[in-house]
Every structure is written in C-alpha cells, then in structure tokens.
C-alpha cells in the first residue's frame, strides 16, 4: 500500500453538520503531482470539483471558481468546513499521517481507530471495514468525526496507478464514467 503513491477511486461521501446533511458520489484521482476530486449527484451532475497541480488549487462550486495554494484552506474558506483533505489520501489507503495517534488496530495490524491532532479539536477516524481492491487491502468504510462534523466515506472501487510519468490518464476514464 505504501508503494501506491498514485491511485483512482470512486465511492460515496456522506456529510452531516448541525446545519446540513447530504450525500454524494465521490471520484478522486490522486498522485504526488496532482489531485482531481469530484462530487456528483446520483444523476451525475457535478456538485463540486477540486483540482490541484503545481501548487495551485482550483475549486469549482455553484458556477463559481476559487483558487488558493492550499486545498484545506480553500475548502474551509468556501464551504466553512475544515475537511482534512491533506490527510485523506493516506487514510483512504489505510495509512497514518505523521500527526496521527493510533488508538487501536486489528489482528492484521490494520488501523481501527486513530486520532489526528493536527487541528483542534482533533479528527477521530474509524476504519469500519476493509476490502481487497487491485490486490491491496484498503478501507471500505471510513467514519471521520470532529466536533459536530461527521463524514462517512465508502470506497466502492479503488485502483493503484503507475507513476504519472509512465501512464496516460484519459479525462473520461472508465472509473469516472461509471459514477
């Protein structure tokens, strides 16, 4: 899993705050060089698009485009939510960040619960189930909670990719089209 620095995934994201509650389809293409994240409705309409490359982050939501050099700061500024976008790529692959404190793990040494103290109050992350995708063990269901914000992330499809210098990623890839 540590060798999978580039991957593509699709799943579902549920968000619950005191003011709001919704769920969307999630598509994420991640590599060390760039990120492409899209949230879509059940009908395939894009609700939010976040891309980062070469130190520039672009967020498109409600017909408006916003830019910044930091994805977490941009999401917080535009949405009001402090979503741990920088930590999610590791958590999606079942790994811990440098700021994570492992609370419990299963018999296969996979994390069950961790606390991320990068922000206060800290994020609590629970790895509720695991699955094998592309020959690797990855989480199937993650629950993140911080203060009154709760996120549920379900990975339906995950695929490791070759380093970007060796792979051509088509804008209309099969995984994205299956959303």
Residues lower than pLDDT 50 in the chain: 165-179
Using alpha carbons only, give the angle 136, 27, 117 rounded to the nearest 5 degrees: 70
Which distant-in-sequence residues (6+ apart) come within 8 Å of 139 by Cβ?
91, 92, 93, 94, 127, 128, 129, 130, 131, 155
Superfamily of domain 7-177, CATH level 4: Lipoprotein localisation LolA/LolB/LppX (2.50.20.10)
Residue 172 pLDDT: 47
Domain boundaries, the chain: 7-177
pLDDT at 143: 98
Q: Is 74 helix (H, G, I), strand (E, B) or coil?
A: helix
Exposure letters 142-154 (e unless 16+ CB within 10 A, then b): bbbbbeebebbbb
Residues β-bridged to residue 101? 115
Q: Note the pLDDT of residue 170.
A: 46
Return d(Cα 26, Cα 151) in angstroms, integer: 13
Q: 32, exposed or middle or buried, with CB in 10 Å at 0-12, 13-18, 19+?
A: exposed
Cβ(30)–Cβ(38) below 8 Å? no
CA-based nearest residue to 49, from 70, 72, 32, 66 = 66
Closest CA to 25 of 7, 5, 45, 8: 45
Global pTM? 0.84
60/68 Cα distance (integer angstroms): 12
Read off the pLDDT of residues 78-128 as tens digits, 9 standing for 90 and up: 987 778 888 999 999 999 999 999 999 999 999 999 999 887 889 999 999
For residue 1, the model assigns a pLDDT of: 54
Note the pLDDT of residue 131. 96
Give the HSE-up count for residue 74: Cα atoms under 13 Å, Cβ half-sphere.
Answer: 21
């Amino acid at each position: 899993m540590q060798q999978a620095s580039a991957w593509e995934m699709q799943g579902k994201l549920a968000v619950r705050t005191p003011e709001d509650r919704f769920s969307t389809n999630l598509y994420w293409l991640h590599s060390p060089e760039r990120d492409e994240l899209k949230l879509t409705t059940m009908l395939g309409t894009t609700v939010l698009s976040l891309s980062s490359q070469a130190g520039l982050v672009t967020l498109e939501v409600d017909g408006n485009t916003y830019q910044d050099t930091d994805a977490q700061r941009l999401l917080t500024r535009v949405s009001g939510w402090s979503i741990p976008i920088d930590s999610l790529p590791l958590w999606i692959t079942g790994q811990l960040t440098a700021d994570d404190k492992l609370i419990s793990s299963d018999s296969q040494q996979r994390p069950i619960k961790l606390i991320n103290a990068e922000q206060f109050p800290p994020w609590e992350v629970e790895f509720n189930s695991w699955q094998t995708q592309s020959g690797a063990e990855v989480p199937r269901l993650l629950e993140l909670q911080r203060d009154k914000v709760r996120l549920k992330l379900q990975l339906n499809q995950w695929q490791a990719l070759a380093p970007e210098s060796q792979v051509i990623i088509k804008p209309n890839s099969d995984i994205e089209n299956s959303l």
